[in-house]
Chain A
Amino acid sequence: MNTNLYGVLILAVSVCFIMALKGLSSPKSARRGNLIGAAGAFVATDLVFWAPGMTHQHKWWILGAIGFGVVVGVPAARKIQMTQMPQLVALFNGVGGGAAALVAIVEYLKLGSGASTAEVVATVFTVIVGCISFSGSIVTFLKLQEIMTTRPVVFPGGRFVIAGTLLGTLGAAEWVIHSMGNTSLAVMAVLALLFGVLFVLPVGGADVPIVISLLNAFTGLTVAASGYVLQSTLLIVAGTLVGASGTILTRLMAAAMGRSLFGTLFGAFTAKPQAAVEGGEARSVKSGSPDDVAILLNYAQRVVIVPGFGLAVAQAQHTVRELADLLTSKGVDVAYGIHPVAGRMPGHMNVLLAEANVPYEQLVEMDEVNPTFPQTDVVLVVGANDVVNPAAKTTPGCPIYGMPILDVASAGNVIFLKRSMRPGFAGIENELLYDPKTTLLFGDAKDSLTKVVSALKAL
């Protein structure tokens, strides 16, 4: 294909990606934006086979590899439960980072000693950041899937080990640039992979989404850097767009959670060790039966439901909606108080409730719902914990300190639907559970809600 024609078509694809990101920023155009991006990516993938200078010597290998990738990726994306979607996004991001690192390595092997210093530096950058993104994303996946602990993993001297690994990686980078050897590149890649793991381990479960977003921006930058090595405008534009927008998005997310980016990444090191929560003495909690809860709800004028990840895990979206409908038909004013990070990611809960056909108008964001709690008779907390934990306000040094919370404590009564007394995702004890106006209803959220619904119908 003619070089100029190819260039113009590639420019059109770059415009598609800009329009895709623009579209994704507004609810009305989001879906269309995503489709425009997908169309652009499809065209670019087709075009590259016609690009000037292609040899087609390995065409069947490449087509086979693409086919295999589609067979793995599409069913994973289609079949995943919406509750597990954050870890899938983390995984997709990780493999993207890995792909960018591999591309840079292959190009480096091919260029051999003919590479310019600038190309070697760009290669080194791509391999390091791509490897960090790959291994870091795998760790976030393991944390979100709860295959490993969601608590910050800190070990004695941890920060020195991390700093040492980083210095080692940079030293190896220097070695690669001077020697242009293959051994040095392998050493550097291994150290970068190790650094990615160490860097994510100390991050607490609730902050993982911010790290995913950050790693996403990292992968974007690696794609841009490999675009420089391969002299591809498209990769530079697309990678930089993702790197820049990902950085902004990371900051917005951190702001929504009331966290500083620095605190998220290094908080576990600077935080004072938490005082073991008030020894082992058994503290009394008030637990109730579904009938007690039904009575409380029946005589309330205003009820706010605070859904959390526990609701999603129990697949109780539909039951909670049934309860809300029943209460509405009895003249109770019902709203859902949605914390920005309810679920596992910002906006995750909105997706889950939308799936259960909860009317959009009943979803009230935190800033709007907080002033209404003093006039609220009953707050029903379904499978949420950290987002209503007053420790975020009262306990400096705890991992969620400073995160804005839903002020459910100012409501008349608080009902917690919980599986057990186990602390939430961030692993912090919730004082509100011991408050006299709190009633606990233990059990699976869906089970409990079904019982409450039938008790309410019987009243």
Chain B
Amino acid sequence: MSSNLVWLSIFVLSVFIGFEVVSKVSTTLHTPLMSGANAIHGIILVGAITVTDHADSNLQLGLGIAAVVLATINMVGGFVVTDRMLEMFKGKPRVKKDVDAVGGDSK
């Protein structure tokens, strides 16, 4: 198999996984999910580090360093802000409505 075909296979299979994992998601989580996915594409940082490492002119080095800065902001900031959003959902046990009604004061 030629290497191009390998890349294509990886690409196509990833498309299907991407479709599959988010096909059922409640509206409540749309924003955190978008933000989390946004952080994941910050992995371009790995590419930015690689090209900067191989840079052999000042122009390449400068552009590469700019890419590293931008990618780091994307990745690190993205994960932190997503965590902050999701923190809000934590620690609020979902009391079932009927139990709540029977039990009266649930506090």
What class of interface size applies to chain B in its complex with A?
35 or more
What's the Cα separation between A327 and B58 when bound, in Å? 67
* Contact present for A73 and B77 (CB under 8 Å): yes
User: Contacting B14 at CB < 8 Å: which of A68, A236, A361?
Assistant: A236
Residues on B with beta carbons closer than 8 Å to the beta carbon of A93: 38, 41, 74
Give Cα A311–Cα B42 distance, bound, in whole angstroms.
Answer: 32
B65 near A65 (CB under 8 angstroms)? yes
A34 pairs with B82, CB closer than 8 A: yes
Contact A219-B86, Cβ < 8 Å, known A73-B80, A245-B22: no
> Of residues 73 to 96 in A, which have CB atoms within 8 Å of B's CB atoms?
73-74, 76-78, 80, 82, 85-86, 88-89, 92-93, 95-96
Asked whether B88 lies within 8 Å of A20 as measured between CB atoms, the reply is no
Given A44-B46, A99-B71, 14 more pairs with CB closer than 8 A:
A20-B40, A33-B36, A34-B79, A48-B49, A49-B49, A54-B50, A86-B31, A103-B51, A110-B51, A241-B17, A241-B21, A252-B30, A346-B30, A365-B27
Min Cβ gap B95→A in Å is 6
The answer to whether A319 has its CB under 8 Å from any CB of chain B is no
Beta-carbon contact of B4 and A118 below 8 Å = yes
Give chain A's interface residues, CB within 8 Å of chain B.
17-18, 20-22, 24-27, 30-31, 33-35, 37-38, 41, 44-45, 48-49, 51, 54-59, 61-62, 65-66, 68-70, 72-74, 76-78, 80, 82, 85-86, 88-89, 92-93, 95-96, 98-100, 102-103, 105-107, 109-110, 118, 212-213, 216, 219-220, 223-224, 226-228, 230-249, 252-253, 256, 340, 345-348, 350-351, 354-355, 357, 359-361, 365
Q: Is the CB of A27 within 8 A of B29?
A: yes
Contact of B31 (CB < 8 Å), options: A20, A65, A235, A347: A347
User: A45-B49, A58-B55, A62-B52 are contacts. A24–B70 as well, Cβ < 8 Å?
Assistant: no
Given contacts A31-B90, A77-B77, A355-B88, contact A110 B55 (CB under 8 A): yes
Query: CB distance A69 to B18 under 8 Å?
Result: no
Chain A, Cβ-Cβ closest to B57 = A109
Contact, CB under 8 Å: B44 / A106: no
Cα A399 to Cα B82 with chains together (Å): 30
Residue of A at shortest CB range from B6? A233
17 interchain pairs, CB-CB under 8 A: A34-B79, A38-B79, A41-B43, A61-B52, A62-B68, A66-B68, A69-B73, A70-B76, A78-B80, A78-B84, A93-B41, A96-B44, A233-B10, A238-B43, A246-B18, A252-B25, A340-B27
Tell whether, in the assembled complex, residue B72 and residue A65 are in contact, meaning their CB atoms are under 8 Å apart: yes
Residue in contact with A216 in the complex, picked from B7, B34, B100, CB distance below 8 Å: B34
Contacts of A58 in B (CB 8 A): 52-53, 55, 61, 64
Q: Which residue in A59, A95, A106, A359 is a CB contact (below 8 Å) of B74?
A: A95
Is the CB–CB distance between B10 and A237 below 8 Å? Answer: yes
How distant is the Cα of A17 from the Cα of B51 in the complex, in angstroms? 23
Collect the chain B residues with CB atoms within 8 Å of residue A30's CB: 29, 32-33, 86, 89
The interface residues of chain B lying within 8 Å CB-to-CB of A21 are: 18, 21-22, 33, 36-37, 40
User: Are B37's CB and A347's CB within 8 A?
Assistant: no
Measured in the bound complex, the distance between the Cα atoms of B46 and A56 in whole Å is: 14
A36 to chain B, nearest CB (A): 10
List, in ascending order, chain B residues with CB within 8 A of A252's CB: 22, 25, 27, 30
Given A95-B74, A106-B60, A236-B7; A48-B27 close (CB under 8 Å): no
Of B19, B46, B74, the contact of A245 (CB 8 Å cutoff): B19
Is A24 touching B63 in the complex (CB atoms < 8 A)? no
- Complex formed: what's the CA distance from A228 to B24 in Å? 30
Chain B residues whose C-beta falls within 8 Å of the C-beta of A107 in the assembled complex: 51
Do the beta carbons of B41 and A73 come within 8 Å of each other? no
Identity of the chain A residue whose Cβ is nearest the Cβ of B56 in the assembled complex: A110
| A-side contacts of B26, CB under 8 Å | 27
A351:B85 contact, CB within 8 angstroms: yes
Closest 5 A-B residue pairs measured CB to CB?
Answer: A69-B72, A244-B18, A73-B77, A240-B14, A96-B74
Which residue of B11, B14, B50, B77 contacts A232 across the interface (Cβ within 8 Å)? B50
**Which of A31, A80, A89, A231 lies in contact with B89, CB distance below 8 A?**
A31
Residues in B with CB closer than 8 Å to A27 are 26, 28-29, 89
In the bound assembly, the distance between CA atoms of A85 and B15 in angstroms comes to 28
For the complex, give the distance between the alpha carbons of A130 and B18 in Å: 20
With CB as the reference atom, state the residue of chain A lying closest to B71. A99
Contacting pair B24 A25 (CB below 8 A): yes
* Distance of A65 from chain B, by nearest CB (Å): 4
Say yes or no: A238-B41 contact (C-beta < 8 A), given A92-B77, A249-B22.
yes
- From B32, B53, B63, B87, A62 is in contact (CB under 8 Å) with B53
Q: How far is the CB of A114 from chain B (nearest CB, A)?
A: 13
Contact partners of B30 in chain A: CB under 8 A: 213, 249, 252-253, 256, 345-347
- Residue from B22, B52, B54, B70 within 8 A of A248 (CB atoms): B22
Residues of B within 8 A of A360 (CB): 92, 94
Evaluate whether A62 and B86 lie within 8 angstroms (CB atoms) in the complex, with A25-B24, A99-B70, A227-B47 already known: no
In this complex, the member of A49, A233, A241 whose beta carbon has the largest number of chain B beta carbons within 10 angstroms is A241
Across the interface, name the chain A residue whose C-beta is closest to B95: A361
Inter-subunit contact B21/A22 (CB<8 Å): yes
The answer to whether A346 and B27 touch (CB under 8 A), given A65-B69, A78-B84, is yes
